[in-house]
Chain A
Amino acid sequence: MKSKILAFLGSAVLSAGVATAGGFQANLQGQKQIGMGHAGTGLALDQSSIFFNPGALAHLRQNGIQLGVSALNAKIAYREPSPGISSAQTDNPLSTPFQVYASYGKEESPLRFGIGVYTPYGSSVNWGNLWQGRFGLNELTLQAIFIQPTISYRISDKLGFGAGFVYSTGNVNLQRSIPLQASNYAEGQVELDGNASGFGFNLGVFFQPVEKLSLGLTYRSKVEMEVKEGDVTFMLPSSPLITSQFQATQFDAKLPLPANITLGIGFRPTEKLAIAVDIQHVQWSAYKALRFDYNAPIRGENFSESPRNYEDVFIYRLGAQYQVSDILTLRAGAYYDKSPVQEGYLTPETPDADSRGVSAGLTLALSEKVDLDASFLYINKKQRTDDASKSGGVAGTYKSVAYIPGVGLNYKF
């Protein structure tokens, strides 16, 4: 089953993109929630509860399968510190974070089983190999696909618990220029490429004391993505004196994908209106440093480490949906996301800043069994100037925006 899903997913272009949240988190896990500022932990909306709140899954009356994908179009502009005026802009490939959820349980059973496959972290940044910061970064692609089998139990109409086990698989590819030029003027380059995997879990509780109010609390654990024996490839001037300085052929690395605690509140003032408020605490402080350990020395060192020292942050989300008719539901929402990157630690791989997101969405109920979701999210990060003195990054001013349309298909049975 797992390999089948992976084979299916492998046919799509997989990579979650940068600029959808703080750090390299990609908060795009459900088309309905995206339309509401990605809030919904306190609501039992659909099979995406497998991610948003496993405790709410058992409150869904129907079994179903959901497929969704977003087209993440993020752009970052860079300008060197004044009085310089050189600038650069990323040429990021369109990336397509996706989500697949399926749940099953007997109609009157309080038990629901589910599986989710989704991409909560990722980054795809391509600055090219000509810009001023190329010795910091040419290109970075981080991908993580979470596969989460889940069980949810409805204790009563008011209370449900759920738990999911997370297996994460992914890869990392990092390319940067090396400031050594050959006699044909070609600059050196290094590429680190490796597969990564990790484990974690997702716990949730759903509580609906009265019809008009529901609460959700989830804890998604940290997942430590570990790369073992990834490939290190150098392109360098051929002089042995130089190549002997760059002996590594393999690297190991660990990248923490941080834990999240989310509290969600859902109001249903009328039959047709639902309002969701989420407060998400992202424990980014797990990301202390980006460290690569090599199997042989590079310039005399068996590892490289650059400090990141991310801070824990809160994300505030607000969204609403209104059922206009039997076939049409409209949504809107917004969120505010503090950057986990402290002053002096900005890097070209995640030139992060406090970000504001606004979104809209709709659902078309095409038949009893089939719903079509559409969402659109616009993210605007604050312009940020940093001297990058502590991260060994690239000093300058960065500005990011992202446009993220998405569609989803729900089939209920």
Chain B
Amino acid sequence: MKNIFYKFGAAALLSSAFLFSGCDPEFEDDVQVSAGSLNLSKYVAVGNSLTAGYQDNGLYLEGQVFSYPNILANQFSFAGGGGFAQPLFSNEQRNGSGYLRLSGFTATGSPILQPVTTNLATESATSAFFKDEFTGEVQNLGIPGIRLADIKTPGYGSAQGNPYFERITPDANQLQTYLQRVAASNPTFFSSWLGNNDVLGYATAGGFAGALTPVETFTNLYTELINTLTANGAEGIVATIPDVRAVPFFTTVGPTAKPLLAAAVAAANAQGLPITGVTALSKNTATRITITPASIKDASGGSILLTLTSSAYLPLIGQPTGRYWRELAASQNPTNPTAQLQGYLANFQIDTTKAFGLDPRNPIPSAFVLDDTEQNEINAATAAFNDIIKAQANAKGLAIFDAYQYFNSIQAGFTQNGVAYSPAFITGNLFSLDGVHPTQRGYAIIANEMIKAINAKYGSTIPTIDVTQFRAVLFP
């Protein structure tokens, strides 16, 4: 008797469990997706390395696949968006230009970054140009390194120009300018994020190399670019130039170097050398400036920024060394580095037998330091360029992703879905191993910010993407 009940009970239990397993919870409202007034059938992305998907100091297949334009196109596809063609590297050449990967940490916790040199798309490990041209249609016109100042330069797509633009420019059309290529793309919707390199190159070189684009040039070219993009009635989104001082490339080394430099100065003082700080070069001149440890920027104050590239040389402070100049000469003039080195030493009046950084005769190179003068120039240019970008966008009724405002707003960090984000190098999840370009996660966050700006401007409801599906830095 008992057995029968047991069986009956078990059977009832199992069958009813099976019966109801199909009844899922349902939301009261369906997902709303609409393009609003937009025609997303042909999206074209105009821009530089950020648009190409550049990260970890290189452009490679994975970065291209997870570029913010590709993410945008994917989300546009929910609202009638068309296909999106990118100049992807082949799988055999998937490492593209080569890039940096994190292979470990030193005993003191510094990251060890190793170049990836296999499966490259370049002609050789030392050449920046690519083996194969990409002849298919290209809707992601992100060209790493391009400045706004370059968009009307004939031959920019030739073997004497930019390797990335050369790669997608047909040989028969070598003199086509970037602007002409943009005009030929004929989008119904576009994104434009150009102008970063008009300040960034100068900034990352610590004011030592490169130049800021004159404001007048920027105004004319930007106006022409936006006129070209909107000539056929296309709508779009433009992005402003972030404050380059807020990226890990400039914010990582200073806080750790500050106490080390203070100790070096104190040690020099103890030996009777009456210095208040280290000596550095400014801009591309022989002008010396003194940097007191207190003036180096960290959480407690200061303004002087040290580049990520300086971290390998700062331990040499106080030693008689000319290592930086030797290496620079070898890279700039491989055929006659000795002559090049003599030139540097003469130009910048350097005596490499003196204590590096502590003795004014062997100053810290300008390339490692973004001093107040250089920062002021960069700020003024960035502000002027952003005013032009926003004015042009407003004149044409375009959406704006204010990257300057956005990146400044997240300086203190934020948490999303249990993940902490900040502009910190490696640990902040937003910036890749070059300290300038975002991680794939960072690009996805940018894409979502752009979608929000587009939705606000055009009354669309394009869905944002789940950013946790994108990776940040990979750890060994």
Contacts and interface: CB of A to CB of B under 8 A. Distances in A.
Nearest to A394: B417
Interface string B8-33: 11001110110011011111100111
Nearest to B105: A241
A404 to B, nearest CB: 9
A134 B466 CA distance: 12
B471 A84 contact: no
B46 interface: no
Counting chain B CB atoms within 10 Å of each CB, which of A85, A176, A372, A392 scores highest? A85
Interface in B424-476: 429, 448, 451-452, 455, 461-466, 468, 471-476
Contacts of A406: 13
Nearest to B10: A407
Interface in B274-329: none
B219 to A, nearest CB: 34
Contact of A181 (B16, B461, B475): B475
B78 interface: yes
A162 B429 CA distance: 59
A145 interface: no
A183 B476 contact: yes
Contacts of B466: 80, 84, 86, 132
Interface string B244-278: 00000000000000000000000000000000000
B475 A76 contact: no
Given A79-B27, A80-B466, A185 B475 contact: no
A399 interface: yes
B417 A76 contact: no
Nearest to A372: B5
A207 to B, nearest CB: 35
A238 interface: yes
Contacts of B451: 83
Interface string A25-68: 00000000000000000000000000000000000000000000
Interface string A70-104: 01010111011011111001000010000000000
Counting chain A CB atoms within 10 Å of each CB, which of B21, B418, B462 scores highest? B418
A213 interface: no
Contacts of A374: 12
A316 interface: no
A301 to B, nearest CB: 13
Counting chain B CB atoms within 10 Å of each CB, which of A77, A132, A238 scores highest? A132
A134 B27 contact: no
A370 B474 contact: no
A85 B17 contact: no
A135 interface: yes
A400 interface: yes
Interface in A133-165: 133-136
Counting chain B CB atoms within 10 Å of each CB, which of A83, A240, A403, A406 scores highest? A83
A166 interface: no
Counting chain A CB atoms within 10 Å of each CB, which of B5, B20, B28, B455 scores highest? B20
B26 A181 contact: no
A409 interface: yes
Given A399-B26, A405-B16, A83 B5 contact: no
Contacts of B455: 83
A288 B78 CA distance: 42
B419 interface: yes
B104 interface: yes
Contacts of A395: 417
A392 B420 CA distance: 11
Interface in A368-413: 370, 372, 374, 376, 383, 392, 394-395, 397, 399-401, 403, 405-407, 409
A69 interface: yes
A403 B16 CA distance: 9
A73 B27 CA distance: 18
Interface string A221-255: 00000000000000001111110000000000000
Contacts of B101: 183
A182 interface: yes
5 contacts: A69-B13, A75-B25, A185-B471, A383-B28, A405-B17
7 cross-chain pairs, A with B, having the tightest CB-CB distances, nearest first = A135-B418, A403-B20, A237-B475, A405-B16, A86-B466, A85-B463, A77-B25
Interface of B: 1, 5, 8-9, 12-14, 16-17, 20-21, 23-28, 31-33, 78, 101, 104-105, 109, 415, 417-420, 429, 448, 451-452, 455, 461-466, 468, 471-476
